[in-house]
């Protein structure tokens, strides 16, 4: 799968009701999740809630956890506070931790683990809380 | 090579994408947030945003560019001209990550980037060089060296290019006055404030020789280009071959360029710049280790695709041409159409191209990234496109260029079209014996600034 | 010549205006009410409206065109191709009013316009001609002559051109069926319903030779063009030189073309059309006494501006070229981009060009009158522009054309771009040995109609 | 004077208050008339009057009279009826009479005697009368 296809997938997922999408190579493993039946039901987004995008500050590879077998930094529905690590972007063998800049709840993670991201690409949406 | 990342924007990014397509090589474009709808972004097979509009954060951001190259599976990087094209560190980083940098080695870039050192090497190799100094150590050194060379003198940045950090001084007072500005400009542009002096040759012409060299010691030259039509050290019009040059001088220039390239074991496409004085003496000024903006005039006259050759050479192919195979046919002229009137104090003004009619027909080539509806961003250089005209001889090429300039319509942004049209009508220009002083004198005499 | 009236529209009118400008000749455009904002109207030095949209009342209205020429003080008339370019009466009227008709004499137009007579003259001169008949006098004559020639046969209009009044018949039944339609079409198109038969050569290629002749008996040929890629007898793509032709056959074609031109004392630019069978035999089909749509491929390969030469010859200048001076360099291909998909039953649909991105870069030439915002009128032919690509050899030219076709964006009107892109990918086409049957077979097998 | 200059003059006159404009070569003879002081005052154009253009049906040279020394076919202010000759256009040595197609009064003659006209060019304006 090339970068364009991946971007198309991201956009497709982004614009659909699907909140999680996984795909594996080899003998193919596919997993699609819809918001109506989430694994762990996130708090409902109240109408008028302010969703803030977290954008990639660099080009690189997006990772949800610090190591392949470690749990993800955050899950959808998690509350986060400023300075908390949300994910890492690997660029040129360097792991760059991306931190939350506000207090809120992670509403949507838009990029799959291990996928390339370009500058400015929206990684996740956080609902701002006071 | 299978997939090349094009580390540039504008017309040169498109030029490289065109060459890659013709070689069946896939392309990865990089773009800043200001270039999301640019043609190089949409024409490449893939495109990766590498940063916000300012070039330092996007087109000069080595880490993001290399990350994009690696993530997209590129095996080569073409830097174009400007931006990172002469950056030895970037070339080294490419090599360290297994990417072919389409240009010479980082060692070549380092050597040739130090203008003073490059001159010393060429002098040693027997190529006549322009009289000048090493790096200036103090104001005393400055004044003494200038006195030895004789005024007027040119103050130049060691790591310079594109006329930045360059100042002309007619006498001691002027020289002392511009010393600090030149150093400050050099520091800001190249993170290196070392400057040196060069004798300023009055009435000299700027003539350069195109070179191609492979990894196996084969070098050819692909003729010369006349580049004397400059404003503030920026070329505005180029020709191939140089007019009013004897066959004997042409042969000597070609031989000197080959000698210079061999002296540094040059690889890939490059250009040796010379100043030619009215008596026919010539002096090496610098070597440009990259593609030149004005390469199309050579392509039209020699029937060679320099960008495709450059990529083939970088991929390790042997040169496909012997010197005997390279013979000129006719004459070509290039006008650089900038988003800026040519006049004292003029500055590019960004805007939207509201109407565009591109000239066509025989002999005309248009290398440009603009289209009707294109918004010219204020962040990058002012080049809108290169209009190139070919004819069986200089006279026919001039006529072809005149009518192409007449056909070209660009509305919505200011352009240099009025300047180019007026120069084409100028009798001294048409006679073909103009020097680097031409535009300054011409602007002083002329009322045309449009 | 000082001022030329361009008796045409579209890309060819622009082509002639370009040539005139480069020769410092003023131009007078004519336009119909539908072409008030057309580029040829705005680019000429003067423009005169000669009638309403339908061509019979404007671009074919001899009286208005001649009145415009006389009133504007023109001393020459260039008819382009199509419209009045092969009209002997118009040529005579120009001459009668002291205007130089840029083409051969009215006597030449009369002789060469009668396809049967032209063949007889060529046969007498020793040029091999395609087996065929004189004018068919009756159904009995039709059937008997066809039986003698052997099926399949081609029914053709004596005064024909552009495929009108032309029908292929595989057998007697089909021939009798198409006889009346062909005659009716010939009558409607040329006011002459005389038809004749020609043997249909299976697997033949359509190859033509470009000629230039002055008023003093000097004739040269400027190589051949491959024009076999046709749909409904309309050319869609042309090449120079013809691929897969031996040097010996090329030399024989050139010699035969010169022989034919000399036999009729031809003057100006013209083309000898031949059919070449798979065994390498060739046969004269007709001579086109005018500029051809596909002339740019020859220009790119030979470095000659055919329109400028045509004007110089019409002005009475001697030929500037000897045969030895004309040597080919590289290979060129032209795609005729029409406002029409190439598919069974397709028809051009008028519309507005809402977006236009013109390809550029090395080797690319674009001859076109369209611009972003141009409204394609429904009254004239469907040609939007000619995309021409040059490369050092056929392989490079193909790659250049492929990437140029990829770059070309025309939105708002249907075009033949999908067809051209698909043909360029076709293996048989790329091998270079295709005949006039190619498009028919290809459409039958292919699903691409876009 | 070339065709473009003539067209420009026509347009200038057309858009100005000037109703007649003459110019001669050689030692120059110029004559300009304004509607406010006409040689023979035309009936005032009532507001809302319907002005019908007479357009050139061919390319040629416009003449107001059948011969150089003859009086003009019509003057501004003249009443005309269908079939009445308004002017001639000479094309290829042929004199083509241009006839009125309606009843009315000639309000404005837009082309000077002896000037070239293109197809469709408006030659005069006639106010329609029942």
C-alpha distances in Å from residue B82, one per residue of A44, B36, B188, B300? 52, 20, 16, 23
- Which of B294, B356, B362 best tests the C interface by mutation, with the highest count of C CBs <10 A? B362
Place of tokens 């008596």: B279
Task: Let me know if residue A101 belongs to a domain.
Answer: yes
- Does one domain contain both A61 and A24? no
Alpha-carbon span C200 to C186, nearest angstrom: 19
Say yes or no: A110 and A59 in one domain.
Answer: yes
Distance CA C237, CA C436 (A): 11
Give the chain C residue nearest D91 (alpha carbons).
C67
* D120/C49 touch (CB, cutoff 8 Å), yes or no: yes
- Percent pLDDT > 90 in chain B is 86
Question: What's the mean pLDDT when you consider all of chain D?
Answer: 80
Question: CB–CB of C330 and B360 under 8 A?
Answer: no
Q: Rounded to a whole number, what is the distance in Å from the CA of B80 to chain A's nearest CA? A: 21
Among B15, B19, B16, B13, which Cα is nearest to B31's? B13
Distance between CA atoms of residues B442 and C14, nearest Å: 33
pLDDT at D7: 60
C42 at interface of D, judged by CB pairs closer than 8 A: no
Q: Indicate the helix (H) or strand (E) that contains C397.
A: helix C394-407
Domains located in chain C, CATH noted: 3-102 (3.40.50.20), 131-199 (3.30.1490.20), 205-445 (3.30.470.20)
**C309-322 pLDDT, tens digit each:** 999 999 999 999 99
CB atoms within 10 A of CB C53: 15
D61 at the C interface (CB within 8 A)?
yes
Residues 6 or more apart from B249 whose CB is under 8 A from it?
Answer: B276, B280, B282
Q: Do chains C and B touch (3 or more CB pairs under 8 A)?
A: yes
Tokens, residue B30: 């990089």
Q: Provide the CA C193 distance to its chain's centre, in angstroms.
A: 22
H, E, C per residue of D78-93: CEECCCCEEEEEEECC
Q: Is the residue at D43 inside a domain?
A: no
- Eight-state DSSP code of residue D6: H
- Flag whether pLDDT at B344 surpasses 90: no
Is the pLDDT at C186 greater than 60? The verdict is yes
Residues A10 and A64 in one domain: no
Q: What is the pLDDT of residues B248-266, one digit of tens each?
A: 999 999 999 999 999 999 9
Structure confidence at residue D50 as a pLDDT band (50, 70, 90): confident
Would you state the pLDDT for residue A6?
62
Please indicate, yes or no, whether residues D94 and D57 belong to a single structural domain of this protein: yes
Place of tokens 């299976």: C202
Highest mean pLDDT among B162-176, B340-354, D34-48 belongs to: B162-176
Tokens coding B5 = 């990342």
Nearest to D118 among C48, C66, C97 (CB): C48
Helix (H) or strand (E) holding B179: helix B172-190
Q: Does A have 3 or more CB contacts under 8 Å with C? A: no
Helix locations, C191-267, DSSP H: 247-263
Cα–Cα distance measured from residue A43 to residue A34, given in angstroms and rounded to the nearest whole number: 15
What is the band of B202 on the pLDDT scale with cuts at 50, 70, 90? Answer: confident
Burial of C268 (0-12, 13-18, 19+ CB in 10 A): buried
Return the pLDDT at A41.
Answer: 41
What is the number of residues in chain C? 450
**Contact by Cβ (8 Å): C332, C300:** yes
The total of other beta-carbon atoms located within 10 Å of residue D32's CB is 12
User: Which tokens is B12 given?
Assistant: 């040169």
Residue B101 — pLDDT band, cuts 50, 70, 90?
A: very high
Count other Cβ atoms within 10 Å, centred on residue C171.
12
Indicate whether D26 and D60 sit together in one domain: no
CB contact under 8 Å between D60 and C50, yes or no, is: no
Please, which pLDDT band fits residue D24 given cuts at 50, 70 and 90?
low
Cis peptide before A54 (omega within 30 of 0): no
Q: How confident is the model at residue B25 (pLDDT cuts 50, 70, 90)?
A: very high
- Looking at B23-130, which runs of residues are DSSP E strands? 26-32, 46-51, 76-78, 100-101
Chain B positions touching A116 (Cβ under 8 A) are: 71-72
Are the Cβ atoms of B362 and C296 closer than 8 angstroms? Answer: yes
For chain B, what is the mean pLDDT?
94
Mean pLDDT of chain A: 80
Please determine, for residue C198, whether its predicted confidence score (pLDDT) is greater than 60.
yes
Are residues D56 and D15 part of one domain? no
Rounded to 10°, the helix C417-425/C394-407 angle is 150
What's residue B354's pLDDT? 96
Contacts with B350 (C-beta within 8 Å, 6 or more apart), sequence order = B339, B375, B376, B377, B378, B413
Distance CA(B342)–CA(B450), nearest Å, equals 8
The enclosing domain of A111 has a CATH number of 2.40.50.100
Give me the sheet containing A60-63, strands edge to edge: A94-99, A85-91, A60-63, A116-117
C67, C70, C73, C90: which to substitute to probe chain D, counting the most D Cβ within 10 Å?
A: C67
The confidence score (pLDDT) of residue B55 equals: 94
- Please judge whether D59 and C64 are an interchain contact, meaning their C-beta atoms are less than 8 angstroms apart: yes
**Is there a single domain that holds both residue A55 and residue A99?**
yes
Residue B322 dihedral angles phi and psi, to the nearest 5°: -95, 165
Q: What is the pLDDT of residue D41?
A: 41
Residues A101 and A73 in one domain: yes
Chains B and D contact (Cβ–Cβ under 8 Å for 3 or more pairs): no
Closest by CA position to D113, among listed D52, D51, D54, D67? D67
Q: Pick left, alpha or beta for residue B291 (phi over 0 → left; psi -120 to 50 → alpha; otherwise beta).
A: beta
Residue D41 included in any domain = no
C15 to chain B, closest Cα gap in Å: 6
- Token pair 């205007």 in the structure block, residue: C99
Triad C404, C406, C407: Cα angle to 5°? 65
Q: Averaged over C362-382, what is the pLDDT? A: 95
Per-residue confidence (pLDDT) for residue A17, from 0 to 100? 52
B46–A119 C-beta distance less than 8 A: no
Inter-residue contact B320 to B312 (CB < 8 Å): yes
Quick: pLDDT tens for C136-165. Answer: 999 999 999 999 999 999 999 988 776 778
pLDDT value, residue C443: 87
pLDDT at D27: 57
Chain CA centroid to CA C250, Å: 21
Considering only CA atoms, give the Rg of chain B: 21
Phi, psi angle pair for C212, to nearest 5°? -135, 130
Pick from B203, B193, B136: nearest CA to B164: B193
- pLDDT tens string B347-356: 777 789 999 9
Closest partner CB to B49 (pick from A91, A92, A120): A120
Q: Identify any residues that bridge with D17 across adjacent strands, giving them in sequence order.
A: none
Nearest-Å Rg of the Cα atoms of chain A is 14
Active site residues of B: 290
State yes or no: pLDDT of B447 exceeds 80: no
Tell me how crowded residue B382 is: count the other CB atoms within 10 A of its CB. Answer: 21
pLDDT in tens, B216-252: 999 999 999 999 999 988 999 999 999 999 999 999 9
Query: Do D and C touch (≥3 CB pairs < 8 Å)?
Result: yes
The residues, ordered by sequence, that sit 6+ positions from B36 with a Cβ below 8 Å of its Cβ are B49
Residue D91 included in any domain: yes
pLDDT at B163: 75
* Contact C358/D at CB under 8 A: no
Residue in B18, B366, B398 to test binding to C, most C beta-carbons within 10 Å: B18
Q: Is residue D61 part of a domain?
A: yes
Number of domains in chain D: 2
Q: What is the dihedral of CA B37, B38, B41, B44, to 10 degrees?
A: 120
Cβ-defined contact of B64 to A3 (cutoff 8 Å):
no
pLDDT at C30 > cutoff 80? yes
Distance CA B310, CA D66 (A): 75
- On whether the CB atoms of residues C64 and D59 are closer than 8 A, the answer is yes
In whole angstroms, what separates CA C133 from the centre of its chain?
Answer: 24
Considering the entire predicted model, what is its pTM?
0.87
Contact C329 B330 (CB under 8 A): no
Residue of C nearest to B390 (CA): C303
Return the pLDDT at B450.
42
- Taking the Cβ of residue C403 and every Cβ of chain B, the question of whether any pair is shorter than 8 Å is answered with yes
User: In which band, very low, low, confident or very high, does the pLDDT at A12 lie, cut at 50, 70 and 90?
Assistant: low
Cβ-based contacts of B365 with chain C (< 8 Å): 360-362, 364-365
Residue tagged 């347009």 (tokens): D11
Q: What is the DSSP letter of B129?
A: B
Reported as half-sphere exposure (CB side, CA atoms, 13 A), residue C307 has a value of 30
Residue A44 has pLDDT above 60, yes or no: no
Q: Residue B444: its pLDDT value, please?
A: 85
Question: Is residue C6 pLDDT above 60, yes or no?
Answer: yes
* Chain B interface disruption, residue of A59, A92, A94, A122, most B CBs within 10 A: A59
Share of chain C above pLDDT 70, in %: 99
Q: Which residues of B touch A119 (CB under 8 A)?
A: 33, 48-52, 58, 64
C46 vs D4: CB contact, 8 Å cut-off? yes
- For residues A28 and A56, membership in a common domain is answered with no
Instruction: Judge contact between C236 and C333, C-beta under 8 A.
Output: no
Task: Tell me if B315 sits within 8 A of B1, measured CB to CB.
Answer: yes
Residues A16 and A55 in one domain: no
d(CA B102, CA B97): 14
Provide the mean pLDDT of chain C. Answer: 94
Asked whether the beta carbons of C169 and C156 are under 8 A apart, the reply is: no
Q: Smallest CA–CA separation between B298 and chain A, in Å?
A: 36
Distance (Å) of CA C95 to CA A109, B102, C198, C267, C289: 81, 62, 35, 15, 17
Contact C72 D3 (CB under 8 A): yes
Q: Region D86-112: what's the mean pLDDT?
A: 93
- pLDDT of B410 reads 97
Please report which residue ranges of C352-414 form alpha helices under DSSP H: 394-407
**3-state SS, residue C20:** helix
CB contact under 8 A, C43 and B305: no
pLDDT of residue D36: 42
Most confident of B96-105, B337-346, C343-352: B96-105
Q: Is residue D109 situated within a structural domain?
A: yes
How do beta strands A122-128 and A51-55 pair? antiparallel
Give the distance from CA C13 to its chain's centroid: 14
- Under DSSP, the state recorded for C129 is B
Chain B residues touching A92 at Cβ < 8 A:
63, 66-67, 70, 97
Q: How confident is the model at residue C445 (pLDDT cuts 50, 70, 90)?
A: confident
Chain B residue numbers with beta carbons less than 8 Å from the beta carbon of C399 are 21-24
Q: Contact B342/B449 with Cβ under 8 angstroms?
A: yes
Average pLDDT for A82-110: 93
D37 contacts: CB under 8 Å, gap ≥ 6: none
Whether D75 and D120 share a structural domain: yes
pLDDT band at residue B189 using 50, 70 and 90 as cut-offs: confident
Residue A3 has pLDDT above 90, yes or no: no
Across chain A, which distance is largest between two alpha carbons, in Å? 46
**Residue of chain B with shortest Cα separation from C24:** B399
User: Does D13 or C380 have the greater pLDDT score?
Assistant: C380
Provide the token pair at B34. 């200001």
Which one, of C238, C230, C232, lies nearest residue C271 by Cα? C238
Question: Distance between CA atoms of C274 and C286, rounded to whole angstroms?
Answer: 7
Quick one: average pLDDT of B289-302? 97
Q: Does any domain span residue A44? A: no
Q: In this complex, do B48 and A3 lie within 8 Å of one another by their Cβ atoms?
A: yes
- A29 in a structural domain: yes
Q: Are both D13 and D66 inside the same structural domain?
A: no
pLDDT surpassing 90 at residue A48: no
The upper half-sphere exposure of residue D15, i.e. CA atoms within 13 Å in the direction of its Cβ, equals 5
CB contact under 8 A, C361 and B406: no
Check pLDDT > 70 for residue C277: yes
Tokens of D58: 């061919």
Q: In chain D, which residue's Cα lies nearest the Cα of C70?
A: D92
Range of the domain at D106: 51-128
Residue D46 has a pLDDT of 65
């Amino acid at each position: 799968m090339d970068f364009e296809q991946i971007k198309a997938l991201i956009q497709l997922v982004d614009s659909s009701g699907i909140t999680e999408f996984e795909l594996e190579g080899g003998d193919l493993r596919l997993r699609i999740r819809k918001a109506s039946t989430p694994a762990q039901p996130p708090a409902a987004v109240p109408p008028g809630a302010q969703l803030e995008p977290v954008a990639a500050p660099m080009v690189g590879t997006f990772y949800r956890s610090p190591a392949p077998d470690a749990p993800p930094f955050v899950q959808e529905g998690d509350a986060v506070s400023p300075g908390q690590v949300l994910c890492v972007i690997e660029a040129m063998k360097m792991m760059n931790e991306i931190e939350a800049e506000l207090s809120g709840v992670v509403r949507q993670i838009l990029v799959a683990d291990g996928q390339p991201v370009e500058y400015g690409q929206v990684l996740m949406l956080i609902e701002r809380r006071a | 090579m299978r997939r090349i990342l094009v580390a540039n924007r504008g017309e040169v990014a498109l030029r490289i994408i065109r060459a890659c397509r013709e070689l069946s090589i896939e392309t990865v474009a990089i773009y800043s947030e200001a270039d999301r709808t640019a043609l190089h972004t949409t024409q490449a097979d893939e495109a990766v945003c590498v940063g916000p509009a300012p070039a330092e954060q996007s087109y000069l951001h080595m880490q993001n560019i290399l990350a994009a190259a690696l993530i997209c599976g590129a095996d080569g990087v073409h830097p174009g001209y400007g931006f990172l094209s002469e950056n030895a560190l970037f070339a080294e980083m490419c090599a360290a990550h297994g990417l072919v940098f389409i240009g010479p080695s980082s060692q070549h870039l380092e050597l040739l980037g130090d203008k003073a050192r490059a001159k010393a090497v060429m002098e040693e190799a027997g190529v006549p060089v322009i009289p000048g100094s090493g790096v200036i150590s103090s104001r005393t050194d400055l004044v003494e060296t200038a006195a030895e060379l004789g005024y007027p003198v040119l103050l130049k940045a060691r790591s310079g290019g594109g006329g930045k950090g360059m100042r002309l001084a007619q006498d001691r007072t002027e020289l002392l006055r511009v010393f600090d500005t030149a150093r400050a400009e050099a520091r800001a542009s190249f993170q290196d404030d070392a400057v040196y002096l060069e004798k300023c040759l009055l009435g000299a012409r700027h003539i350069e020789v195109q070179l191609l060299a492979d990894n196996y010691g084969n070098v050819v030259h692909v003729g010369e280009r006349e580049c004397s039509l400059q404003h503030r050290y920026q070329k505005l019009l180029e020709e191939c071959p140089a007019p009013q040059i004897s066959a004997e001088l042409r042969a000597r220039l070609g031989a000197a360029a080959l000698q210079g390239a061999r002296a540094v074991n040059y690889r890939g496409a490059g250009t040796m710049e010379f100043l030619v004085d009215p008596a026919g003496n010539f002096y090496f000024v610098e070597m440009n280790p990259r593609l030149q903006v004005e390469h199309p005039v050579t392509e039209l006259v020699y029937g060679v695709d320099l960008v495709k050759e450059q990529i083939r050479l970088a991929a390790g192919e042997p040169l496909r041409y012997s010197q005997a195979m390279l013979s000129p046919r006719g004459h070509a002229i290039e006008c650089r159409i900038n988003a800026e009137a040519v006049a004292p104090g003029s500055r590019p003004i960004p805007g939207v191209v509201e109407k565009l009619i591109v000239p066509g027909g025989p002999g005309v080539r248009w290398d440009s990234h603009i289209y009707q509806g294109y918004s010219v961003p204020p962040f990058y250089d002012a080049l809108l496109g290169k209009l190139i005209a070919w004819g069986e001889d200089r006279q026919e090429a001039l006529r072809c260029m005149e009518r192409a300039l007449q056909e070209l319509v660009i509305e919505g942004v200011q352009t240099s079209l009025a300047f180019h049209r007026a120069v084409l009508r100028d009798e001294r220009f048409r006679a073909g014996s103009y020097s680097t002083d031409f535009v300054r004198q011409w602007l002083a005499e002329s009322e045309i600034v449009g």
